[in-house]
């Protein structure tokens, strides 16, 4: 048998990154700002989105793509607050969304009437970091019940996010969590990371989060 | 466990090379992996070796090569063209 060695320099992520670039172009052309929300399970992505949709869903023409793995729970919760929800096709056990799923999901969204798009990734701080979905920025959500060293344990997702939401701050009186230490740890990994401190339960800190989102979208058209 | 998705993509790329080179089987593949690629090496190796059990990879070996930064590249494919040795 003749075996030949074919030398290559083929990037393993090349196909995903090309699809993501195509998604980014479509969203840019439509002037839709897309955020990819990543977090560990239970940090409060869905609760944060619920509060955001309640207050800004109509004002900012928000659409949502969600990628819950095994259940309809997140989709059902969000569907009570918006009719602009698209479920990504996620096969059981998948640990992240990829750009091909977003390509399909974006086709189902009326981009002319969308100014802000949230992609709620699968709850996982490791895998989603590697997949570009065509978003304007990743937003990492973590909570004060998780430990100040989370950014050091999961540097990839913190270094590839532009914004961080530290959620559940209403629980701080009951915990030994030190907010400045957590923020310092995150800034060791990514000095540019901008923080929002929120409680999706009490509403603390949400006004700043909402103002930030308002600043990120194109002006509303006059219909 | 995104290592499995990455291993699947490596195998897909290797199959493309096999087709392009008009070979009959892949005997080995090399992947360069950097420390910041977000890849757990043993998990990645496990997934690759599992996928390489099936045709057209039967018997193929996986070589993981150190690389800088967040490198994640397919660096070689050993293609068997099915013809007798020259």
DSSP B84: P
Q: What is the pLDDT of residue A11?
A: 93
- Answer whether A10 sits within 8 Å of B31, measured CB to CB: no
What's the CA gap between A146 and A148, in Å, rounded?
7
Give percent above pLDDT 90 in chain A. 76
- The answer to whether residue B51 scores a pLDDT higher than 80 is yes
Question: What three-state secondary structure class fits B46?
Answer: helix
Distance CA A72, CA A122 (A): 13
Local structure of A77: helix, strand or coil: helix
In a domain, A197, yes or no: yes
Q: Residue B85 falls within a domain, yes or no? A: no
Q: Choosing among A5, A7, A8, which should be mutated to test the B contact, i.e. which has the most B CBs within 10 A? A: A8
CATH number at residue A41: 3.40.50.300
Range of the domain at A146: 14-216
Q: How far is A127 from chain B (nearest CA, A)?
A: 5
Rounded to whole angstroms, the Cα distance separating A128 from A37 reads 10
Whether pLDDT at A222 is above 70: no
ipTM of the complex: 0.87
User: Quick check: B1 and A1 CB within 8 A?
Assistant: no
Would you say residue B27 lies in a domain?
Answer: yes
Domain count, chain B: 1
Q: Domain residues for B73?
A: 2-80
pTM of the predicted structure, to 2 decimals: 0.88
Predicted local confidence at residue A93, as pLDDT = 65
For residue B86, being part of any structural domain is answered with no
Is residue B24 included in any domain, yes or no?
yes
Asked if B38's CB is within 8 angstroms of A129's CB, the reply is yes
Q: Span A44-59, mean pLDDT?
A: 95
Tell whether the model's pLDDT for residue A186 goes beyond 90. yes
Domain of B14, CATH number, reads 3.30.2320.50
Please spell the DSSP secondary structure of A25-71, one letter per residue: HHHHHTT-EEEEEEE-TTSSHHHHHHHHHHHHTTTTTEEEEE--SS-
Q: Which residues of A158-172 are buried (b: 16+ CB within 10 A; e: fewer)?
A: bbbbebbbbbbbbeb
Quick check: is B16 in a domain?
yes
User: How close A151 gets to chain B, by Cα (Å)?
Assistant: 14
Identify the band that residue A1 occupies on the pLDDT scale cut at 50, 70 and 90: low
> What is the tens place of the pLDDT at every residue in A58-80?
999 999 998 866 677 888 888 88
**Between chains, do B73 and A12 touch, taking CB under 8 Å as contact?**
yes
Do A51 and A196 form a contact (C-beta atoms < 8 A)? no
> B35 in a domain, yes or no?
yes
Does residue A221 sit within a domain? no
Q: What is the 3-state secondary structure (H, E, C) of B23-45?
A: CCEEEEEEEEECCCCCCCHHHHH
């Amino acid at each position: 048998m003749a075996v030949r060695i074919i030398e290559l320099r083929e990037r393993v992520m090349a196909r995903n990154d090309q699809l993501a670039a195509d998604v980014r172009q479509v969203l840019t052309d439509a002037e839709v700002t897309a955020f990819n929300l990543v977090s560990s399970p239970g940090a409060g992505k869905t609760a944060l989105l619920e509060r955001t949709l309640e207050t800004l869903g109509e004002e900012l023409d928000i659409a949502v793509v969600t990628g819950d793995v095994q259940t309809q729970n997140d989709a059902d919760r969000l569907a009570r607050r918006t009719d602009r929800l698209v479920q990504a096709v996620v096969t059981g056990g998948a640990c992240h969304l990829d750009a091909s799923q977003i390509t399909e999901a974006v086709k189902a969204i009326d981009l002319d009437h969308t100014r802000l798009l949230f992609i709620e990734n699968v709850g996982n701080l490791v895998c989603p970091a590697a997949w570009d979905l065509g978003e304007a920025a990743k937003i990492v959500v973590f909570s004060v019940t998780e430990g100040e060293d989370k950014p050091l344990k999961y540097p990839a997702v913190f270094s590839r996010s532009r914004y961080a939401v530290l959620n559940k701050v209403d629980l701080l009186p009951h915990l030994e969590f030190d907010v400045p230490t957590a923020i310092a740890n995150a800034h060791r990994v990514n000095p540019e990371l901008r923080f929002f401190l929120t409680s999706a339960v009490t509403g603390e800190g949400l006004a700043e989060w909402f103002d930030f989102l308002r600043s990120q979208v194109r002006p509303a058209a006059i219909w | 466990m995104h290592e499995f998705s990455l291993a699947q993509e490596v195998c897909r790329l290797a199959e493309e090379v096999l087709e392009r080179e008009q070979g009959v089987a892949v005997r080995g593949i090399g992947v360069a992996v950097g420390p910041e690629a977000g890849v757990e090496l043993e998990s990645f190796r496990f997934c690759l070796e599992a996928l390489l059990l099936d045709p057209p990879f039967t018997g193929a070996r996986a070589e993981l090569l150190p690389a800088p930064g967040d490198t994640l590249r397919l660096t070689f494919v050993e293609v068997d063209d099915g013809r007798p040795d020259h």
